[in-house]
């Protein structure tokens, strides 16, 4: 008696080019934020508390892992987790607009917010149609 393995009933979500670009941008942004906890603010300067830096490092690691999984398996929930993790990381940087930090820091935060909006829109755009 011969047994055959059941056919794979899960279908891979067909990623569009927009989705792939969005995932790539999100994973690159996660890589940039990954060492946050290991680059603390110098003594006497204004910056985020160490707890926020650790949260950003952990969320960036989660986003990076979920992004790789989404890319390889076509998992939409993993793509959503990638975007959500990086949105939270970006939200932690928003207080920079309301405290006394250099203009360069504010420009970097603004660029991070813009990048987050762009990759979120790209990730959540509809995939290829079959």
Boundaries of every domain in the chain: 17-37+47-124
Q: What is the pLDDT of residue 3?
A: 60
Is the entire prediction scored with pTM above 0.95? Answer: no
Angle subtended by helix axes 50-73 and 17-33, to nearest 10: 150
Task: Decide which of 13 and 110 is more confident.
Answer: 110
The predicted structure's pLDDT at residue 1: 60
The pLDDT score that the predictor gives to residue 33 is 93
Share of the chain above pLDDT 90, in %: 65
Q: Sorting pLDDT into bands at 50, 70 and 90, what band is 6?
A: low
Mean pLDDT of the chain: 88
**pLDDT score, position 42:** 78
Q: What share of the chain is helix, strand, coil (3-state, %, to 5)?
A: 70, 0, 30
Q: Please provide residue 15's backbone torsions phi and psi, each rounded to the nearest 5 degrees.
A: -75, 135
What pLDDT does residue 39 have? 84
Cβ contacts of 122 within 8 Å, gap of 6 or more: 18, 19, 21, 22, 23, 25
What pLDDT was estimated at residue 120? 96
């Amino acid at each position: 008696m011969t047994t055959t393995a059941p056919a794979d009933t899960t279908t891979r979500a067909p990623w569009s080019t927009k989705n792939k670009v969005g995932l790539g941008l999100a994973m690159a942004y996660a890589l940039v934020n990954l060492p946050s906890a290991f680059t603390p603010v110098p003594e006497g300067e204004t910056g985020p508390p160490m707890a926020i830096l650790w949260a950003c490092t952990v969320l960036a690691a989660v986003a990076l892992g979920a992004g790789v999984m989404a890319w390889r398996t076509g998992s939409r929930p993993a793509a959503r987790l990638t975007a959500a993790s990086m949105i939270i990381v970006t939200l932690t940087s928003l207080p920079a607009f309301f405290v006394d930090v250099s203009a360069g820091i504010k420009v970097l935060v603004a660029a991070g917010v813009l990048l987050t909006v762009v990759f979120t829109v790209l990730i959540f755009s509809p995939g290829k149609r079959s």
